[in-house]
Amino acid sequence: MPICPFIQGDLHTGNIKFMVYEKEVNQMIPDMDDGFINMIREWRDSDFKTGLILHVGDDCKQFPRKRHQKYLNDRLKENGMNDIKLLMFSPYEDFNIAGVDTRKNAPCVLYNLAKKKDLHEANDKLKKTKWYDKLLTEDFKKLAIKKHKKLL
């Protein structure tokens, strides 16, 4: 089972813009690095459906993923990008869904960029499939997905 069938689809169709961020995470804080924000703007203004930033050269272990992800999303809002959702995937975080370690083999910290409207559309499409069938209640909680009536 692919963890995200839409990312997989974007990968196969060449619809992912790959970018590399090489500065240490503490250079993002307290003021958001213009280079990072500009990468996100460049992706947003492109025709790519998904953006994936590889954060190399820093293991980012000193910042808990959830708190850092919230910080980055707050900075996006402050920079007029309310339409973007950033998801952070850390290989240092013990995280699995439906028994699959979803971050373990990542080569570095990854920032996945998606437009919120695309995420809503993807959620609606997934509800009509069997993709959720193997997820446990705890998986829904981890992913912050409310169970759909069809799934109960």
pLDDT, tens digit, 9 for 90 and up, residues 99-109? 666 666 677 88
What is the per-residue pLDDT across 10-19, written as a single tens digit (0 to 9) for each?
A: 878 888 999 9
Query: Are the beta carbons of 116 and 84 closer than 8 angstroms?
Result: yes
Measured distance CA(50)–CA(72) in Å, rounded: 17
Measured distance CA(128)–CA(4) in Å, rounded: 15
Q: Across all residues in the chain, what is the average pLDDT?
A: 80
What does the block give as tokens for 150?
A: 């069809």
CA–chain centroid gap for 100, Å, is 17
What is the per-residue pLDDT across 72-123, written as a single tens digit (0 to 9) for each?
A: 999 999 999 999 999 888 887 777 777 666 666 677 888 999 999 988 888 7
